Amino acid sequence: MTTRIGWGRIRGVLVLAVLLAFCTVGWEHVYHSAISGGSVGGSIDDHLAPMLRDGLVALPLAVVAVVGGLWFGRRFTTPGRAALVAGVFGLLLAPSVVPHAHGSASAVAGPHAAHLHGPVGTAGVQGAVSVASLLHILREALIAQVAALPLMLVGLALLFSRPRSLPRLGLRRPATAVVAVAVTVLACTGVSLAGATSATAASPVHTLQLTDNPGNWFDSGTDIAGTRSLVVMQPADTVRFVVGTDTNTVHTASSLLWPTGAAGLPFDQPHAYRGQEEVQLTTPGLYVFVCKLHPFMLAAAIVDDPATPELDLGQKMTLISGLTVPTASDLAFRLLRAFFVITNPHNYQVYAPTGSTWDPVYPAVPVLAHDQSGNPVSVPDLNAAFQSYFHEPVTLAPAIPPTGHGVGQVWIDTEYEQTAHKTKPGTATAVETSNWTVSRKVALPSVNMNNPHNMWTDRSQSVIYDTQWFDNKLTVFDRKTGALIRNVTVGEAPAHVMTRVDTDQVHVSMNGEGDIVELSPLATRIDRRIQTRTPATPGSRTHTGCPPTGTRW
């Protein structure tokens, strides 16, 4: 008898935990995909797998909540115990949606994967986000209560109340069956709701993968006239920016310009992140996004008004500076042209000793802009129009060396140069100034050197320090032989490096974090981190640093 009652309780706990985990997660999916204004595309199948996965992840938390809630609430009435179980579960579940330090978003399963972002983390950074994180936890815990509390009230009343007038085991068996049916019905309802909302309210999602590759830093997977960073979409479609496995550091996807008055814009993030962020774009026109760490990383979206035959650039555009200009203006044309040049490596200028021709290409599509008075300006072929407006192709002057002679070497980070035996771009190039010839290329395939951005040398000029801007490493190599000495993990997106004149210590600015790392001479170890972020400037990112205090970009 004792054994059977014990098993009954275990079974009751498991049923309650399953109910709690899957139904609450199902509810959160519905809430975050529809009610909170996020958008999730796809069919019911697209929702079912993530819900089941997230439900399984939440199941151990639900078991803990049920066991803990029942134990600590054993002297309470059923409503009290239900509130305790639901509350504990909400608090256990909520942190999975809160920014996490140095984590890979893909490693965190939860109903809020679309909202995950990770501010990169030193202790100081974590302190700055703790209040926001706490509020986020409380908010998510409250949202969970909408499903968890009624479920536990019903579940506990059926499974764990003690109606002494009724034979216990006789009641529990049908009660278990009722709860099992309820789980199935509620889970199916959740899936159906999510499917229904995705079919009616949610919009197609256009994904841009952030990468370390020159030109294609925001990669749509689709080539449009040489750029892979442009998406053409319908009003109310969503753009999703994924900072995932294609890049080795953190980034932002921040509005640079947008149609004046566009709903929900500008779009920005408080911290450089790993994971994904998304924005729904409803107003027709041109949108450009930039990474605030790496300001040549550009993405564009054209929200096309289906009522016009051309692609719509909108009436006016607002720049992040606050300036507003008509879309048919010299500045607007120059900005759009710059986008198509920067995001297409075939449009880069190449200088040659005998001279060369620069002939950039643009999409040969009709676009619709508007002049200062608001009159439509139809451009039948953007490629032809830009080539005419900017007098292209352009003849470039011959690349000839200086007439005088210099002393010593000049080292240049040839950041986009691709070489064999590694996947990431970038080399360091030495030029002899006595005769202006390239004497050495350092690619360091053994450490897959990634976007080397800035260099410095030690007092004796025996080593070169080089920052990997799209990674988290400071590379040290021998100046004369190019041999790797060490590759030191310093933090996210190290941008610039220089040494102290008094101690020969090395200072590296952490563009992805907002501090300066100070290392011992030759970068043998990290001595300290100098915070450049204050409570008043929580979003600051340190690009260059001057000892001892540093500057902010």
Our CB check for Cu ion shows the closer of 291 and 317 to be 291
The dihedral over CA atoms of 330, 388, 287, 118, expressed in degrees to the nearest 10, equals -100
521/117 Cα distance (integer angstroms): 35
CA-closest candidate to residue 417, choices 479, 348, 485, 463: 348
Which range binds Cu ion by CB under 5 A, 174-182, 292-300, 420-428, 473-481? 292-300
3-state secondary structure of 245: coil
Q: What angle (nearest 5°) sits at the alpha carbon of residue 101, between those of residues 98 and 105?
A: 65
Our CB check for Cu ion shows the closer of 175 and 293 to be 293
Our CB check for Cu ion shows the closer of 203 and 248 to be 248
- Residue 543 CB, nearest approach to Cu ion (Å): 11
Which of 257, 291, 301, 523 binds Cu ion (CB under 5 A)? It is: 291
Asked if 251 interacts with Cu ion (CB under 5 A), we say: yes
Our CB check for Cu ion shows the closer of 273 and 362 to be 273
Q: Do 272 and 493 contact (CB within 8 A), yes or no?
A: yes
Our CB check for Cu ion shows the closer of 133 and 207 to be 207
Which range binds Cu ion by CB under 5 A, 230-238, 284-292, 323-331, 366-374? 284-292
- Residue 416 CB, nearest approach to Cu ion (Å): 14
Residues in the chain: 553
Q: Which x/- pattern, by CB under 5 A, does the window 457-486 give for Cu ion? A: ------------------------------
Our CB check for Cu ion shows the closer of 47 and 251 to be 251
Question: In the window 340-379, what residues touch Cu ion (CB under 5 A)?
Answer: none
Which range binds Cu ion by CB under 5 A, 230-238, 291-299, 317-325, 472-480? 291-299
Which range binds Cu ion by CB under 5 A, 244-252, 402-410, 459-467, 518-526? 244-252
- Residue 212 CB, nearest approach to Cu ion (Å): 9
372/547 Cα distance (integer angstroms): 48
Which range binds Cu ion by CB under 5 A, 143-151, 248-256, 312-320, 520-528? 248-256
Question: Tokens 């002393």 appear where?
Answer: 407
Which range binds Cu ion by CB under 5 A, 127-135, 293-301, 397-405, 529-537? 293-301
Spell out a b/e string for 539-548, using b for 16 or more CB atoms within 10 Å of the CB, else e. ebbbbbbebe
Residues near Cu ion (CB under 5 A), total: 5
- Residue 491 CB, nearest approach to Cu ion (Å): 14
CA-closest candidate to residue 250, choices 215, 226, 276: 276
Asked if 274 interacts with Cu ion (CB under 5 A), we say: no
CA-closest candidate to residue 89, choices 58, 62, 111, 51: 62
Our CB check for Cu ion shows the closer of 213 and 315 to be 213
Which structure tokens are listed for 397?
């002057």
Residue 346 DSSP symbol: G
Which structure tokens are listed for 527?
């001595």
93/66 Cα distance (integer angstroms): 13
Our CB check for Cu ion shows the closer of 304 and 471 to be 471
Which range binds Cu ion by CB under 5 A, 161-169, 288-296, 327-335, 495-503? 288-296
Asked if 325 interacts with Cu ion (CB under 5 A), we say: no
Asked if 543 interacts with Cu ion (CB under 5 A), we say: no
Q: Are strands 237-243 and 205-210 parallel, antiparallel or unpaired?
A: parallel
Our CB check for Cu ion shows the closer of 32 and 424 to be 424
CA-closest candidate to residue 269, choices 286, 284, 250: 250
Which range binds Cu ion by CB under 5 A, 5-13, 245-253, 335-343, 387-395? 245-253
The dihedral over CA atoms of 140, 145, 148, 151, expressed in degrees to the nearest 10, equals -160
Asked if 294 interacts with Cu ion (CB under 5 A), we say: yes
Which of 128, 265, 293, 474 binds Cu ion (CB under 5 A)? It is: 293
Question: In the window 437-456, what residues touch Cu ion (CB under 5 A)?
Answer: none
- Residue 347 CB, nearest approach to Cu ion (Å): 21
- Residue 501 CB, nearest approach to Cu ion (Å): 31
Q: Which x/- pattern, by CB under 5 A, does the window 10-49 give for Cu ion? A: ----------------------------------------
230/299 Cα distance (integer angstroms): 6
171/70 Cα distance (integer angstroms): 19
Identity of the residue numbered 475:
T
The β-bridge partners of 390 are none
Backbone angles phi, psi at 291, to 5 degrees: -85, 125
287/318 Cα distance (integer angstroms): 10
389/141 Cα distance (integer angstroms): 57
Q: Which x/- pattern, by CB under 5 A, does the window 296-315 give for Cu ion? A: -x------------------
458/476 Cα distance (integer angstroms): 10
Our CB check for Cu ion shows the closer of 92 and 272 to be 272
Binding site for Cu ion (CB under 5 A): 251, 291, 293-294, 297
